[in-house]
Every structure is written in C-alpha cells, then in structure tokens.
Amino acid sequence: MPSATEVILPVSIVNETLQLYPATTAVFNAFGIDACCGGAASISEAATRDGADPDALLAALNAAIDRNRQQL
C-alpha cells in the first residue's frame, strides 16, 4: 500500500507524471527513461523497458516531488 507521501504509482504514465510534476524531469533523465517516444507507458513498463529498477525509480520520483513541495 502506498504511503501518504507517495503520489506516483507504478501505473502512473510517464508523460502525465512529467506534466503534473515537472520536478521529476531530472529523475527520469538520471534513470535513462525515454519520455519522448516511450512516454505513453506506465512508469513500471518504462523502467523495465529502459533497464531501470522500478522501485528505485518510484522512490526517487516521489522524493523529488516531496522536496519540491517542501520548497514551496
């Protein structure tokens, strides 16, 4: 079950996540996730496709959003 601070889930779509949370751009780039041609995939699918650890990617994405909220 996701914690209260998790807003991005494995089924979240890459491009939708980028639109809603621009702070995640650097995370996707760091993990080598293709958001151009592969952005319509879920985060879980994209991570598997692009050779990233899905759990680590989700943790990093949610941490980026949390850091961004704290700065507001």
Q: Give me the residue spans of the domains in the chain.
A: 14-71
Q: What are phi and psi of 43, to 5 degrees?
A: -60, -40
Cα separation, 15 vs 1, whole angstroms: 23
Predicted confidence (pLDDT) at residue 2 exceeds the cutoff of 80: no
Reported confidence tier of residue 1, pLDDT bands at 50, 70, 90: very low
Q: In this predicted model, which residue has the larger pLDDT, 22 or 72?
A: 22
Cα separation, 38 vs 44, whole angstroms: 12
Residue 13, strand partner residues: 42
Q: CA 36: distance to chain centroid?
A: 14
The verdict on pTM exceeding 0.95 is no
Q: Can you tell me whether residue 38 is helix, strand or coil?
A: coil
